[in-house]
Amino acid sequence: MTTTESAQPVAASVRPPAGSRRTPAAHGERPLRLVVVTTVTVAILALVAWPIVAALLGSLHDWNPLNGTYRWVGTANYRRLFADPVFWTSSVNTVVFMAGAIIGRVVLGMALAYAVHSSLTRVRTLHRTLLYLPTVTPLVAVAYVWRLMYNPQFGAVNSILGLDVNWLYDSRFALPAVMVMTIWKDFGFGVILYLAGLYALPADVLEAAQVDGAGAWARFRRVIWPMLRPTTLFVVVTSMIGYLQAFVQVFVLTDGGPGDSTSLLPYLIYQQAFVKYNFGYASAAAFVLFVATAALTVLSFRAQRGPWRGKAQ
């Protein structure tokens, strides 16, 4: 940077006052800015905006690309959807699955992050590496590993627990089994985020609490939990968006069965579209999922602004 040394004070003196909306050196920016803004806009329009409009339009049609049907039917797909017991089972399953997986991720994530944070420095990296490993491995492959683990004949789950349960073919256990696999796969993300949150905490606050004689639980309850609220919000919102779209684990582990006991909304959409070729019906279900996702996301951010925020910020 030797060549810039003489120029730097000059640059600093011509620098516009803070908060100015003008850029310091506008020359040459324009072409690059134009290319990027145009590309991003075109990509969003072509790959996101138009598909959403097309899905909405498609949901109002009897639509089968196999035989070329595309016939206006108004709200018939939605009426059929809301009268379909599989839709309601799938919706309840989706909510149960999402709630269980989020609670697992938050509880395990925070507890283990707190444990790793308080553990010996020497082993911290090792634990962090191991706990995050399932999160960074391909979902399709680990879902197969778990399918084999749940095998009633030779699977590790029954061998270790000394049970004789057909996990994936018993409607009482199939959804919990899918949830356990998902929690195992994803809790590491919670650990990493909470660890980052813990490192960002001001050390003096924790020390002050310790000096004041607060026990481990009181420190957690009164100091750490409230101060980690922004992290919790982030984990909850991203998990919600993610788990409302969970598909691969159901596809690999159970195919929605036995019965409809593990059918989640994305699985129903996939089935209707690419197995039964009811694109209109599937689009209606997809649009309901879209509205639900948007509503839940908005609600969570509202909640943050409300009582959630507390003293953390």
Partner 1 sequence: MRRRIASICLNTGLLAVSAVTIFPFVWMLMSSFKNADEIASVDQHLLPRVWTLANYRSIQEHFDVVRLFGNSLLLSVAITGIAVYTSLLGGYVFGKYRFRGRGPLFALVLATMMIPWAVVLIPRYTMFTGAGLQDSYASIIIPAAISSFGIFLMRQSMDNVPDEVLEAARIDGASELYIFHRIVAPLSVNAISALAIFQFLWVWEDYLWPYLMLTTPSKQVLAVGLTTFSGQYSTDYGGLFAATTVSIIPVVIVYVIFQKRFVAGAASAAVKG
Which of 17, 31, 74, 307 is in the footprint of partner 1 by CB under 8 A? 31
Determine if 10 is a binding residue for partner 1 (CB under 8 A): yes
Contact between residue 209 and residue 219 where contact means Cβ atoms under 8 Å apart: yes
Q: In whole angstroms, what is the distance from residue 186 CA to residue 173 CA?
A: 20
Site for partner 1 in 272-311 (CB under 8 A): 273-274, 279, 282-283, 285-287, 289-290, 293-294, 297
Residue 49 to residues 55, 114, 232, Cα–Cα distance (Å): 10, 42, 30
Which of 178, 179, 193, 250 is in the footprint of partner 1 by CB under 8 A? 193
Polymer length of the chain: 313
Determine if 32 is a binding residue for partner 1 (CB under 8 A): yes
Determine if 22 is a binding residue for partner 1 (CB under 8 A): yes
Site for partner 1 in 144-183 (CB under 8 A): 144-146, 148-149, 151, 153-154, 156, 159
Please report, in angstroms and rounded to a whole number, the separation of the first and last CA atoms in the chain. Answer: 39
Residue 38: HSE in the Cβ half-sphere, 13 Å Cα cutoff: 6
Binding mask 212-251 for partner 1 (x = CB under 8 A): -------------------x--xx-----x--xx-xx--x
Determine if 205 is a binding residue for partner 1 (CB under 8 A): no
Which H or E run includes 297? helix 279-303
Q: In whole angstroms, what is the distance from residue 83 CA to residue 81 CA?
A: 5
Site for partner 1 in 75-104 (CB under 8 A): none
Of residues 56 and 223, the one with the C-beta less far from partner 1: 56
| Region binding partner 1 by CB under 8 A among candidate stretches 38-46, 89-97, 172-180, 221-229 | 38-46
| Strand-pair partners of 70 | 63
Q: In whole angstroms, what is the distance from residue 142 CA to residue 134 CA?
A: 8
Q: How many residues interact with partner 1 (rule CB under 8 A)?
A: 106
